Structure 1
Amino acid sequence: MADRIDRHVEVLVAGAGPSGLSLACELRRRGVGCLLVDEAAGSSSERESPALTIHAATMEVFHRMGIAGRIRDEARVAHGVGLYRASSRIVDVRLTLAPDETRFPFILVLPQSRTERILLERLELLGGGIEWETRLTSFKADLDGVTAELKSSSNRSSSVRAKWLIGCDGGRSVVRHGLGLTSAGDEYPERYLSADANVSWRLTPDEAAVVLTSEGPFVAIPLPEEGRWRLIDATGKSDVRAPEAILARLRELAGPISGLGGEVGEASWTSSFVIHRRVVDRYRAGRGFVVGDAAHLHSPAGGQGMNAGVQDAANLAWKLAMVIRREAPESLLESYDPERRPVGERVLRGTDRIMRMFAARNPPTRAARDAVLAALGRIEGVRRRISREVAELTVSYSGSPIVAESRAGWFGAVVQEGAKGCRATRSLLRGPAPGDRMPDVLLAQIDPVTGGPLRLSDVVFRADLDPKADPVVRHILLIFPGTLPASGTLLEGFPIEDFVPPHLDDRIHPILVEPRADFEGFQAWRGERLADPANGLHRRFGAEGACLYLVRPDGFIAFRARPLDPSVFREYAKRIFL
């Protein structure tokens, strides 16, 4: 390791794929600079875009980042997956998401290269960039940071001192290896084939298709360009490598789908690959972190890989920004691993189950599987659950060390407030729990720009969505007076300064959610008000009695409480804020 330090940076990010770009954008957006390096000569080619699908939870990250519109305009919208036995449709798994679930009730299909290009353009607008053809070769970590050796394509070495090191450098991560993290798992023994090709058939282009052949599954995903599809031989029955042989094999599989009129033309890209299934034992070691493929590798079944990496980045970025800005204790970063590693493990288990289910070879087993899938596909509750899982809206950090709640037990509620208190406590338990994603409820107000209805996220993340706003890492405090009679008048003298001390004014923004049109409580309130004339927000948050919710910068619930107790809230805030 060189004795001379050529540069000092706050954050060094290795790897400029979707995870690294998202992390750099999120840090820049929150007023923190970083050095982003990648050994490639430039963004990945569209001919080499393994990741395609973008799910609702990731689009919500991109929405706060300001690029969701661009991605939506360039992508193909898909509404689910059709499951076929030859040309016979067994079941279609259409996404069934309620209007209050998300503003993105679909799957978007966009080659990874285009997603990276949009992210890079956003990063450059934020004043950042990438040092291409620059490889992280080694580093030495200590208590205060890391000293890293970088090497350019011309073989020139330089030494960088960084307070924090983030590995977004993929399956062969130098950061993961240097931090001594163990990657548990293995790889599937089969080899899989893929190609992007022109195809003429009667498959609908607004959904992916999984065709269950006698050899195994054949997958077709519609690309943004009309008539072009990503074809995948997931049978594991062929070990060819040459592009011509790969295309011939895919034509062989598509040919028997005669009822769908499958005719595969020329391909612009082919690939022969194996699938790894690994999750590291820790996502953090001292001053270093791993994100995306550096932390977890799994089957592309369900299209979760890139999405999980972007969400890793969104989870880590706001915490790291608060620590660097000296707004939070370093202990805040200890929550990254217990929040995100269980998600990576769950994705691996889920994709494993999908792979095993579709790999069935025995005819009676396949027949039973098809019958079960067809039956389950007709049950609305099952379809809804699958839709929320695919959209990644079921992710919860309920086991995190930085989420909490304060509420009276049944007996305490009755003693303090009588039967009304017991009812309010039951109601609160129907609302989002600490660690859950904030419900993006449709509001009664109309967006003056689009003419469509506003959502709760439009209000909560207003500062994020305003390109002229100062960089900020802000939590939102939603205060619900409650819908039970007299619940608001009991809080007539509600003093927000008792909850939010002056030094946190710019980091915790309180919003009073006003129930019903005739609400007369909180007359002295001088802060922001959000009308809830039909009590829709109150119902969704279980707010029959007065309560509060603290929403994190990444859109998850950090804390909830009822009854309203300033001392309890301030005690929680000490864990998060300096």
Structure 2
Amino acid sequence: MQASDPDVLICGAGPTGLVLALWLTKQQVRVRIVDKRHEPGGTSRALAVQARTLELYGQLGLADAALEQGYAAPGFNVWANGRRRGRIPFKRKLGELTAYPYVLILPQDRHERLLADRLAELGVQVEHATELVRFEQDTGGVRAVLKEADGIERVCSAKYLAGCDGAHSIVRKSLGIDFAGGTYSRFFYVADVEAEGPPMDGEVHINLDRSADFLAIFPLAPAGRARLVGTLVNDRPDRIDTLSFDDIGANAIDKLRIRVGRINWFSTYKVHHRVAERFREGRVFLLGDAGHIHSPAGGQGMNTGIGDAINLAWKLAAVLRGQAADALLGSYEAERLAFARRLVATTDRVFTLATSAKLPARIMRTRVVPVAVPSAARVPAALRFAFGILSQLGLHYRRGPLAEGAAGRIRGGDRLPWIARAQPDGSDNFAPLDGMRWQVHVYGDVRPELAVWCAACADRGPALRRFEWSDACGRAGLDRGAAYLIRPDLYVALAVPGGDPEVIGRFLRDRLIAF
């Protein structure tokens, strides 16, 4: 390899590839990111940016920029057969759980521009009209043949290749990795509209209908603009490419009293549910839609790809810096493949419930769910659980290879709980985590031996962060005086009651992680 060759070649410049490039570049890893599209995407199916993604974006100062570009939907509403049956006000009910107690609506094209602009500020440009033709790998690296914008094929050598190239991934196909799953029988449409009516109030609305005429409404502004996502009535596969908004059937739209004044964008599509057999082969990784695709239920797809990218980025950086053995990279597949399988199974059940014409599904969506949602909204624990799933705050790696111990209600593999005013200046306990390095958090008094151990390896090891104990810490499930070893991606790796540093040292040595 030449000095100018990248450490990581990234194929695909959607949100997943761009986030991977950003997080690697911020950690001084040399990247090259290519995309076969001649220009950034101008339309968008993905809209929802979940709370966990925004928490992770805080590491690069991207959360505030995303909020400026998007719209924070303050509530979620469930309708059944044209009647509003329940509402969940996110901010009022969930303000102690996260700094972002809502769903941020940020169209993917605008989202990609934000990420690409931030990447350009760090000195890396996306190379459009550049297509991966083929590649080979050995123990020393990857040799990829790229067809560049001038039509000439050139070789790029890299230490690793990241396939972020979507559902039709050339990386996955070249590796011969099975992409098992299926395709739902129903066709779906998306339409960005300007309209009037009760659901055009700046909140998220889901209508569940006995006729399986599913409709979801995602606000694009505080009022009057929204994206409609729904099922096509009387599906006609032979006409799918020529259908217009007038062909979709207005049953659910009319029931919700939506009066569409203008259609700014309309598209139809089929929904698939598939998960790759594996996410890694040697020095090549699959991320995002290249590794998993599923129904749009819950707005999880783009956020899951971004989670893949951040999970892999810190591990690649550690291995490339010589701070961890290659075994650390094995934890990427162990953690993210397990999550992808659970997610696809969950969204499949939700999607089937919302769209199936069978009697049990009709009863569930028109009689059970409309009663259960408002009831759950009145029970704080149930609401936090439901929002944790939707927002991915509840995602954990408890069964993964980088998880151990328990202190309070927090176990190794859990997301670090967010404490709003954890520091004397009023800032939260996530503020010190922007350095993308391992840390040790203690809430309450620090064991003297732990302070000495952290000070001895301050230049290379986990930084010690102490926070005053408060009632909020107890409500969040933290244990007073325990030591929590925090990974660079804001997850707890190890929880140690009493804060014994020897336990932390052994944990790191066993996993061949050094500093």
* TM-score, normalising length: structure 1: 0.82
Larger Rg: 1
Note if 1:477 corresponds to 2:437: no
Spell out, residue by residue over 1:44-77, the C-alpha distance to the aligned partner (whole angstroms, 9 max, x if none). Answer: 10xx201001110011121212111121122122
| 1:108 Cα deviation from its structure 2 partner | 0.8
- In structure 1, the residue matched to 2:460 is 506
Aligned mates of 1:444, 1:59 — CA distance in 2? 19
For the residue of structure 1 that corresponds to 2:319, the secondary structure is helix
Q: How does 1:293-308 map to 2 (within 5 A)?
A: 293-308=289-304
TM-fit CA distance, 1:567: 3.0
Residue identity matched to 1:295: G
Change (3 A) 1:536 1:89: closer
Please give the alpha-carbon distance, in whole angstroms, between the structure 2 residues aligned to 1:224 and 1:132: 31
| Equivalence for 1:125 | 121
| Counterparts in 2 of 1:161 and 1:215: CA distance versus 1, 3 Å | same
In 1, the alpha carbon distance for the partners of 2:298 and 2:478 equals 32
1:431 aligned to which of 400, 409, 419: 409
Q: Deviations over 1:392-432 (max 9, x none)?
A: 11100111112223xxxxxxxxxxxxxxxxxxxxxx64331
**Counterpart for residue 451 of structure 2:** 496
Mapping for residues 276-295 of structure 1, pairs under 5 Å: 276-295=272-291
1:439 partner amino acid:
P
> Alignment partner of 1:323: what SS?
helix
CA shift, 1:124, in A, is 1.0
- Residue among 433, 443, 452 paired with 2:421: 443
Q: 1:151 aligns with which of 129, 135, 147?
A: 147
Are positions 1:234 and 2:234 aligned together?
A: no
**CA RMSD of the aligned region, Å?**
2.5
Q: Which amino acid aligns with 1:509?
A: A
1:556 Cα deviation (Å)?
A: 0.2
Residues 80 and 365, structure 2, Cα contact 8 Å, conserved in 1:
no
Q: Displacement of 1:554 after TM fit?
A: 0.5
- Aligned residue in 1 for 2:332: 336
Matched, 1:456 2:434: no
Point out the more displaced range, 182-191 or 549-558: 182-191
Partners of 1:5 and 1:253 lie apart in 2 by: 62
In the TM superposition, what whole-angstrom CA distance separates every residue of 1:282-339 from its partner, at most 9, and x where no partner exists?
1111101011000100001111000000111011101111111112211111100111
Q: Could you tell me whether the CA contact under 8 Å between 1:403 and 1:559 is conserved in 2?
A: yes
Aligned with 2:482 (options 511, 524, 547): 547
In structure 1, C-alpha distance between the alignment counterparts of 2:282 and 2:428, rounded to whole Å? 39
Shift of 1:455: 1.0
CA contact (8 A) 1:99 1:442 kept: no
Q: Give how far 1:167 is off.
A: 0.4
Structure 1 position 346, deviation (Å): 1.5
Following superposition, the deviation at residue 215 of structure 1 comes to 4.3
Counterpart residue number, 1:386? 386
Looking at structure 1, the residues matched to 194 and 475 of structure 2 have their Cα atoms a distance apart, in angstroms, of: 49
Q: Which residue of 1 aligns with 2:261?
A: 265
CA separation of 1:498/1:35 partners in 2, compared to 1, >3 Å: closer, same or farther?
Answer: same
Match for residue 29 of structure 2 among 11, 29, 32: 32
Q: Which 5+ residue runs of structure 2 have no aligned equivalent?
A: none
Match of 2:5, SS state, is: strand
SS in 2 for 1:275: strand
| CA–CA separation in structure 1 for the residues paired with 2:159 and 2:48 | 34
Match of 2:201 among 178, 199, 205: 205
| d(CA) in 1 for partners of 2:135, 2:2 | 12
Asked whether 1:75 is paired with 2:82, we answer no
- Matched residue type, 1:382: A
How many percent identity over aligned positions? 31
Which amino acid in 2 is paired with 1:108? Answer: L
**2:182 matched to which residue of 1?**
186
Task: State the alpha-carbon separation in 2 of the partners of residues 558 and 136 from structure 1.
Answer: 36
Secondary structure of the structure 1 residue equivalent to 2:221:
coil
- Poorly superposed stretches of 4+, deviation over 4 Å: 4-7, 240-244, 362-365, 444-447
Q: Read off the aligned partner of 2:297 and give its amino acid letter.
A: A
What per-residue deviation string (whole Å, max 9, x for no partner) do you get for residues 503-560 of structure 1? x63341112x3xxxxxxxxxxxxxxxx333x46436645434x431111110000112
Q: Which amino acid aligns with 1:550?
A: L
Q: Is the 1:141–1:287 contact (alpha carbons within 8 Å) kept by the matching residues of 2? A: yes
Contact 1:52–1:110 (8 Å) recurs in 2: yes
Q: Which runs of 5+ in 1 are unaligned?
A: 406-427, 448-452, 465-471, 483-487, 514-529
Structure 2 length-normalised TM: 0.91
Q: For residues 79 and 305 of structure 1, what CA distance do their matches in structure 2 show?
A: 21
Deviation, 1:199, is 1.4
1:234 Cα deviation from its structure 2 partner: 1.9
Cα shift readout 1:452-494 (whole Å, capped 9, x = no counterpart): x421101x32xx2xxxxxxx64111123555xxxxx7xx5x53
Kept in 2, the 8 Å contact 1:97–1:388? The answer is no
| 1:16 corresponds to | 13
C-alpha change, 1:235 and 1:84, in structure 2 (3 Å) is: farther
For the structure 1 residues 479 and 90, does the alpha-carbon distance in structure 2 shift closer, same or farther, using more than 3 Å as the test? closer
| Partner amino acid, structure 2, of 1:386 | A
Contact 1:147–1:161 under 8 Å retained in 2: yes
> Which residue among 472, 488, 491 is the counterpart of 1:556?
491
- The residue type paired with residue 410 of structure 2 is P
The answer (yes or no) to whether the contact 2:195–2:225 under 8 Å persists in 1 is yes
- Asked whether 1:169 is paired with 2:165, we answer yes
Cα shift at 1:364:
7.7
Deviation at 1:281, TM superposition (A): 1.5
Structure 2 residue matching 1:90: 3-state secondary structure: strand
Instruction: Determine if the alignment matches structure 1 residue 63 to structure 2 residue 68.
Output: no
SS of 1:289's equivalent?
strand
Quote the residue 1:50 is aligned against: 45
Structure 2 CA distance, aligned partners of 1:164 and 1:149? Answer: 14
User: Is residue 90 of structure 1 aligned with residue 85 of structure 2?
Assistant: yes
Matching residue of 1:411? none
Letter aligned with residue 463 of structure 2? H
Structure 1 residues 160 and 100, CA gap change in structure 2 (3 angstroms): same
Is the 1:197–1:228 Cα contact (8 Å) retained in structure 2? Answer: yes
